Chains A and B, each alone.
Chain A
Amino acid sequence: MKIICLVKFTPDVDQFQYDYEKNILIRENVKLVINPDDACALGFALGLKKKTPEVVIEAVTMGPLNVTAMMADILRRKVDLATILSDRQYVGSDTYATSRIIGKYLETADYDVILTGSHSRDGDTAQIPGQLAEYLKLNQISQIRKIDQPSMLNKRALVEVDSEKYLETYEIPLPAILSVGRESNYRLPFVRYDDLDLDVSDRLRIIDNDSLAVDSKKIGLKGSPTKVIKSYPIDYQKKEQVIVKNDDQGIDMVMAFLEKEGYL
């Protein structure tokens, strides 16, 4: 079985520091990390591969070449193949153009199932998996909390989906696009100590638009129909900090706080 996992690298927003005086995010030294939902999808795939070593996983990303080191790390986590779709012409692509680029690559790729995350953390977008499904004429489902491992191997995936009101179970014939949510808690394994410096260059491919040949009018800013009307930073409120003593009064304050917030 061959699984393609789509991954995107986003700024680690949990690590952002906020300058409350100037009301801006401090972006210096913020690392790029795998989008958490994508990490769960990849985590599931690697879990399946651990049990069924014949499973082959390819990770695919579209982005600038500075993601190469992170894709190499994905290979060191026991992914078989990594593909980076990268070209200066892709810069500024909205989700529609991005789907077209990735779709063009996937058209020619070999797979039994495509796994993605449900949401992208940086822009809070969730369109790519649906748009890709449209492009590739595949079924697609989002907000997956659980995928039944054996069903994947039987080519009819049983998935549990969080539809906000209910947990629903669907059976989907493969190939399909399965989009996993963070709540699935599938854990992406770390690079093992012995593999920290493993040379993975022979398993990492970079594909530009000369090879992919997407119509240049349909990519980048000019190929992107989305127009941003307004964007605004989130206004974080500084949390009040109260330091209490380790005495009866301090303990009472903590208890009262926990009760007020509904923890007790």
Chain B
Amino acid sequence: MTKEIVLEGLKKLLTNEQINVDADDLYDATADRYKKYAKAKKVLDNPSPCAIVYPKNSSEVSDLLMFCNQNQVNVIPRSGKTATEGGLENWKELAVVIDGKNLNEIVNIDTYNMQATIQAGVALQDLEDELRKVGYTTGHSPQSKPVAQYGGLVATRSIGQLSTLYGGIEDMVVGLECVFPNGHISRIKNVPRRAGGPDIRHIAIGNEGTLCYITEVTIKIFKHFPENNKFYGYLIKDIDTGIKVLREVFTNSYRPSVARAYSEEDARQHFYHFHKDKCVLIFMAEGPQAIVEATGAGIEEAVEKFQEGIIEQVDSSLIEDWFNHLNWSQQDIDDEVEEMINNDSHSGYTTEISADWATVSQIYDNVIKRIRSEFRFADDLTMLGGHSSHSYLNGTNMYFVYQYTINCEPEDEFRMYHHPLQTIIVEETLKLGGSMCHHHGIGKYRNQWTRQEHGSAYYMLETLKEAFDPKGIMSYGNIYYQEDAAKYQQ
């Protein structure tokens, strides 16, 4: 098989307009934001895909997958291109990107049954805008909301900034349609709940393009009461105080939609107008009036209980203002690329982990200590900190944030900075029994720890791959470690 033969094959399945071989677009499809700096500097050394294709329906997706499966061509499903962990990076000489651009229909908004059906290429913002017109919301609000699309949101098990009220994407997906490498199209029906065997939605949710191509999703929708929103902000002594207050709120069964604790360093960059070099704790209570009032009272009670760690309360309008300017638009993403090209710098990276209440602060401290003492280029760090932004009954996440002066060639940046830093975070997390990936997915640069993440349950994950993608054509390198491709990681 050669690239030319792959293109010939694609032409038999699609029209010319559905096949993109533009050199710039293929370069763009070579990697995602994990290697954003090397990509902006045009020094990527992994292969570009042969083509980007735009199927118009699940039957075309099915034909494409069968063709690639028969001819051992790597398939990279693609939606809004906001992937951060290498999920869209290509490690094969023969690869085709299947982009959901033409799967862009909002199929149905059903306010009576509180659900909406959309095709995989629908941008979250577009659905949200439609729902708002009729007083509803998706409840899903990742920072990438203006750009990310449903295929990617489901495939990465994404989570939004209001997760503590509405849940992660896995709590929202009612049913879906997906296509497997052998061309089989599965539709999982939309019911409130069932005990019909294991929950097969989870084979598609979070598969990161390694098992199937998601073509359509049905999600829950929620009534929206923005006029009732209440914001709370506090300067606090340390991040551990923040974690304790969060725990108090959630274990008392309150569900604020936003609940976050920031380290001093991270607070400095988010709350420049009021942080006073302290850690910051914030909440937003959302929903019907009575629930908001009760949630607010629960927050104040928890804050009161840990009074000795609370320095002062912050004007709530400052928190509201911050919240309203949080999302990243395509323009912000493009601006960062310009910045990288012109100024040899970028806006940093993040690694998100989760752990139970008892260990999360310990992981945070261990990571910070180890990076400061062990990371070879610690002197170049201009920012190292983190925040907890998604809490649960039994624990919370920690979103490590790091920025540095880039004192290396763009080709080496991920090896010298990003990957060693992420390695420390992952190792310290796994050591204490946490999860190395709270919401960005494993992608390609954490796959070396997938076995350790899952332990004896890795057997189940491995068996899924063998069953659904026996020829290994789906998103080579995502989730599952590949010895042959280690050269791209080292």
Which residues of A line the B interface, CB within 8 A?
A: 31, 189-193, 196, 243, 245-246
- Contact A243 B272, beta carbon cutoff 8 Å: yes
Residues in A with CB closer than 8 Å to B412 are 190, 192-193
Residues in A with CB closer than 8 Å to B407 are 190
Given contacts A245-B321, A246-B325, contact A193 B408 (CB under 8 A): yes
B98, chain A: closest CB distance, angstroms? 33
Q: Which residues of chain B in 359-415 are interfacial with respect to chain A, using CB atoms and an 8 Å cutoff?
A: 379, 407-409, 411-412, 415
A253, chain B: closest CB distance, angstroms? 13
A191 to B321, CA, bound (A): 44
Residues in B with CB closer than 8 Å to A243 are 272-273
Q: A192-B409, A245-B273, A246-B321 are in contact. List 17 more A-B contacts (CB 8 A).
A: A31-B379, A189-B409, A190-B407, A190-B412, A191-B408, A192-B408, A192-B411, A192-B412, A193-B408, A193-B411, A193-B412, A193-B415, A193-B416, A243-B272, A243-B273, A245-B321, A246-B325
Residues in B with CB closer than 8 Å to A196 are 416
A10, chain B: closest CB distance, angstroms? 17
Q: Which residues of chain B in 28-46 are interfacial with respect to chain A, using CB atoms and an 8 Å cutoff?
A: none
A246 to B415, CA, bound (A): 37
Residues in A with CB closer than 8 Å to B415 are 193
Residue of A nearest to B325 (CB): A246
A89 to B409, CA, bound (A): 39
Residue contacts A-B, CB under 8 angstroms, 21 given: A31-B379, A189-B409, A190-B407, A190-B408, A190-B409, A190-B412, A191-B408, A192-B408, A192-B411, A192-B412, A193-B408, A193-B412, A193-B415, A193-B416, A196-B416, A243-B272, A243-B273, A245-B273, A245-B321, A246-B321, A246-B325
A261, chain B: closest CB distance, angstroms? 20
Residues in B with CB closer than 8 Å to A193 are 408-409, 411-412, 415-416
A164 to B176, CA, bound (A): 69
Q: Which residues of chain B in 320-367 are interfacial with respect to chain A, using CB atoms and an 8 Å cutoff?
A: 321, 325
Residues in A with CB closer than 8 Å to B409 are 189-190, 192-193
A259 to B170, CA, bound (A): 50
A29 to B272, CA, bound (A): 26
Residues in A with CB closer than 8 Å to B416 are 193, 196
**Interface residues contributed by chain B, number (CB under 8 Å):** 12
A189 to B272, CA, bound (A): 35
Contact with A along B60-79 (1 / 0, CB 8 A): 00000000000000000000
A192 to B45, CA, bound (A): 15
Residues in A with CB closer than 8 Å to B325 are 246
8 closest A-B pairs (Cβ-Cβ)?
A: A193-B412, A190-B408, A193-B415, A190-B409, A243-B273, A193-B416, A192-B412, A192-B409
Residues in A with CB closer than 8 Å to B408 are 190-193
A246 to B409, CA, bound (A): 36
A190 to B409, CA, bound (A): 6
B42, chain A: closest CB distance, angstroms? 16
Residue of A nearest to B273 (CB): A243
B60, chain A: closest CB distance, angstroms? 42
Q: Which residues of chain B in 190-246 are interfacial with respect to chain A, using CB atoms and an 8 Å cutoff?
A: none
A245 to B315, CA, bound (A): 13
Which of A189, A193, A196, A243 has the most chain B CB within a 10 Å cutoff? A193
Residue of A nearest to B412 (CB): A193
Residues in B with CB closer than 8 Å to A189 are 409
Residue of A nearest to B490 (CB): A193
A245 to B415, CA, bound (A): 38
Residues in B with CB closer than 8 Å to A246 are 321, 325
A140 to B74, CA, bound (A): 60
B330, chain A: closest CB distance, angstroms? 20
A221 to B225, CA, bound (A): 79
Residue of B nearest to A193 (CB): B412
Residue of B nearest to A187 (CB): B344
A192 to B413, CA, bound (A): 10
A81 to B324, CA, bound (A): 57
A190 to B406, CA, bound (A): 10
A246 to B325, CA, bound (A): 9
Which of A190, A191, A246 has the most chain B CB within a 10 Å cutoff? A190
A245 to B317, CA, bound (A): 11
Residue of A nearest to B272 (CB): A243
B332, chain A: closest CB distance, angstroms? 14
Residue of A nearest to B406 (CB): A190
Residue of A nearest to B324 (CB): A246
B340, chain A: closest CB distance, angstroms? 16
Residue of A nearest to B344 (CB): A187
Residues in A with CB closer than 8 Å to B272 are 243
Residue of B nearest to A195 (CB): B412
A245 to B274, CA, bound (A): 11
Residues in A with CB closer than 8 Å to B411 are 192-193
A12 to B395, CA, bound (A): 45
Residues in B with CB closer than 8 Å to A192 are 408-409, 411-412
Residue of B nearest to A189 (CB): B409
A245 to B273, CA, bound (A): 8
Residues in A with CB closer than 8 Å to B321 are 245-246
A243 to B271, CA, bound (A): 11
Residue of A nearest to B408 (CB): A190
